[in-house]
């Protein structure tokens, strides 16, 4: 029969796709960079963060100076008038010392960490979509070859029926096999289109072309504890918790300063009856006897809570990432073993020889070829799961 060369093409394709050599994707990094620039949700979050930063920078200066002007009529006739002018400025220690400015700066640092968390989440979602798309592209590449070979196989059996070498039942089986494979191919192409649409949405409506069929060579860290020490302070959640503790500590200082008197100073001019004028400086003091009650206690309690929260976040992140690290190691071992098993079990050429020699039926041949394809599908799925796990583990590095 005429499809021997096609079977060999399939075999070589499988070896090429699943060989042990490492091949790297060339455009996934540029796609992630494009999404970072064009993602509308990320742009909106950036604008919202900038607005909140500006809001935090307001209200941290001295209060506005006060200017008063009095025009008074002197009794009993009211023919004489008196004019008074006063200018005053209040000074609170918290503003003068710069503690309010430092508090605003620390609040803005927390906002930046929250933005970084949103950025990482967006890029991670895009990277996982690319991983899924890589799997789909690879399956399509194999399935297109399978569909082509299945169609030629069906055509060969049709000719065989005409020449009296095959039965109509065999022809029907070959035709049904070709239809089934083509249907699966169309489903894969639909999945591919859906993934590309997701990427287009992430990229601000700009279409993305991505045809890679080989996964990026992502590996878990060789030593988890050493890696974690290097990236711990880069983790947005941990960094935000640290800065929140620093903010609460400064809030205690602010509460103490708010308990100090507020001073006001100014100038006053007062017109007198005989045309004389009195003028000079004015000083005032505001003593916070009741307004600051319990503020320091509340600030200290909030600081203690922040420190506990920071320790909780640190511990949670460590064990969450460690669990993910162990998962990556297990999946990696499974991928290596399955890849080796698939390469060893790929006996499609032998199946063809057995079919042409009459050692197996067409049904057996179709079933065995499907089993081989199912093994490769399982390998792709496991590889996809592994790459996703590594991407989630190393998301902070995006």
Dist. CA 338–CA 332, nearest whole Å: 10
Q: Exposure pattern of 158-180 as b/e (b: 16+ CB <10 Å)?
A: bebbeeeebeeebbebbbebbee
Residue with tokens 């799997």: 135
Peptide linkage before 76 cis (omega within 30 of 0): yes
Give kind and range of the element (H or E) at residue 236. Answer: helix 236-258
∠ CA(324), CA(325), CA(330), 5° rounding?
A: 95
φ, ψ at 37 (rounded to 5°): -80, -35
Nearest CA among 120, 100, 97, 119 for reference residue 108: 100
Dist. CA 174–CA 154, nearest whole Å: 5
Top-confidence range, 317-331, 338-352, 354-368: 317-331
Give kind and range of the element (H or E) at residue 86. Answer: strand 80-91
pLDDT tens, 340-359?
A: 888 877 777 788 788 777 88
More confident site: 276 or 281 = 281
Work out the burial of residue 302: count CB atoms within 10 Å of its CB; fewer than 13 is exposed, 13-18 middle, 19 or more buried.
middle
Give kind and range of the element (H or E) at residue 333. Answer: helix 295-345
16 pLDDT above the threshold of 50: no
What is residue 393's predicted lDDT score, i.e. its pLDDT? 96
More confident site: 121 or 6 = 121
Q: How confident is the model at residue 67 (pLDDT cuts 50, 70, 90)?
A: confident
Residue with tokens 């499809």: 3
What is residue 325's predicted lDDT score, i.e. its pLDDT? 97
Query: Taking the CA atoms of the chain, what radius of gyration do you get in angstroms?
Result: 37
More confident site: 190 or 348 = 190
**Cross-sheet strand order for the sheet of 277-286:** 66-74, 80-91, 262-271, 277-286
The four Cα atoms 12, 15, 17, 18 give a dihedral, to 10 degrees, of: 170
pLDDT tens, 74-84?
A: 676 555 777 77
Q: Which two tokens stand for residue 300?
A: 């200290």
Top-confidence range, 55-69, 91-105, 365-379: 365-379
**Stretch 214-225: mean pLDDT, rounded?**
89
Q: Which two tokens stand for residue 198?
A: 């997701």
- First-to-last alpha carbon distance for the chain, in angstroms, is 53
When the pLDDT of each residue in the chain is averaged and rounded to a whole number, the result is 84
Q: Which two tokens stand for residue 97?
A: 């010392």
More confident site: 103 or 62 = 103
Contact 309, 242 (CB under 8 A): no
φ, ψ at 294 (rounded to 5°): 70, 0
Q: Exposure pattern of 30-41 as b/e (b: 16+ CB <10 Å)?
A: ebbebbbebbee
284 pLDDT above the threshold of 80: no
Dist. CA 34–CA 206, nearest whole Å: 9
Q: How many CB atoms lie within 10 A of CB 259?
A: 17
Of 97-101, 132-136, 289-293, the poorest mean pLDDT is in 289-293
More confident site: 149 or 261 = 149
Nearest CA among 49, 55, 48 for reference residue 104: 55
What is residue 382's predicted lDDT score, i.e. its pLDDT? 95
Q: How confident is the model at residue 19 (pLDDT cuts 50, 70, 90)?
A: very low
**Stretch 152-164: mean pLDDT, rounded?**
87
241 pLDDT above the threshold of 90: yes
- Percent of the chain topping pLDDT 70: 88
Dist. CA 368–CA 348, nearest whole Å: 8
Q: How confident is the model at residue 61 (pLDDT cuts 50, 70, 90)?
A: confident
Of 25-34, 82-91, 172-181, 360-369, the poorest mean pLDDT is in 82-91
What is residue 369's predicted lDDT score, i.e. its pLDDT? 87
Q: Which residues pair with 69 in a beta bridge?
A: 85
More confident site: 355 or 388 = 388
Top-confidence range, 72-86, 152-166, 167-181, 246-260: 167-181
Centroid of chain to Cα 22: 26
């Amino acid at each position: 029969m005429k499809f021997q060369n096609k079977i060999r093409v399939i075999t070589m394709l499988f070896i090429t796709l699943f060989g042990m050599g490492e091949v790297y994707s060339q455009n996934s990094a540029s796609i992630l960079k494009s999404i970072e620039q064009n993602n509308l949700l990320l742009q909106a979050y950036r604008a919202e963060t900038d607005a909140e930063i500006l809001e935090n920078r307001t209200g941290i200066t001295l209060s506005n100076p006060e200017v008063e002007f009095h025009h008074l009529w002197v009794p009993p006739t009211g023919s004489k008038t008196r004019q008074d002018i006063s200018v005053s400025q209040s000074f609170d220690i918290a503003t003068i010392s710069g503690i309010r400015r430092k508090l605003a700066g620390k609040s803005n640092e927390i906002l930046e960490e929250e933005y970084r968390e949103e950025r990482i989440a967006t890029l991670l979602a895009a990277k996982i979509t690319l991983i899924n798309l890589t799997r789909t592209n690879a399956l399509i590449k194999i399935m297109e070859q399978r569909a082509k070979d299945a169609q030629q196989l069906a055509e060969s059996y049709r000719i065989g029926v005409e020449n009296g070498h095959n039965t109509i039942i065999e022809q029907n089986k070959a035709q049904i096999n070709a239809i089934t494979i083509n249907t699966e191919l169309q489903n894969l192409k639909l999945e591919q289109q859906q993934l590309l649409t997701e990427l287009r949405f992430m990229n601000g409506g700009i279409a993305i072309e991505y045809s890679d069929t080989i996964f990026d060579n992502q590996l878990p860290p060789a030593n988890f504890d050493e890696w974690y020490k290097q990236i711990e302070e880069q983790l947005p959640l941990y960094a935000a918790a640290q800065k929140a503790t620093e903010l609460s500590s400064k809030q205690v200082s602010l509460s103490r300063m708010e308990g100090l008197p507020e001073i006001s100073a100014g100038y006053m001019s007062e017109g007198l009856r005989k045309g004389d004028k009195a003028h000079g400086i004015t000083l005032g003091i505001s003593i916070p006897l009741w307004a600051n009650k319990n503020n320091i206690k509340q600030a200290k309690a909030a600081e203690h809570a922040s420190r506990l929260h920071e320790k909780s976040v640190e511990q949670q992140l460590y064990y969450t990432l460690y669990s993910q690290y162990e998962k990556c190691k297990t999946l990696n071992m499974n991928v290596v073993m399955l890849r080796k098993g698939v390469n060893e079990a790929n006996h499609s050429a032998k199946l063809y020889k057995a079919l042409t020699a009459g050692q197996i039926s067409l049904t057996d041949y179709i079933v065995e070829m499907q089993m081989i394809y199912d093994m490769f599908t399982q390998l792709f799925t496991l590889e996809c799961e592994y790459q996703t796990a590594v991407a989630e583990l190393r998301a902070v590095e995006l």
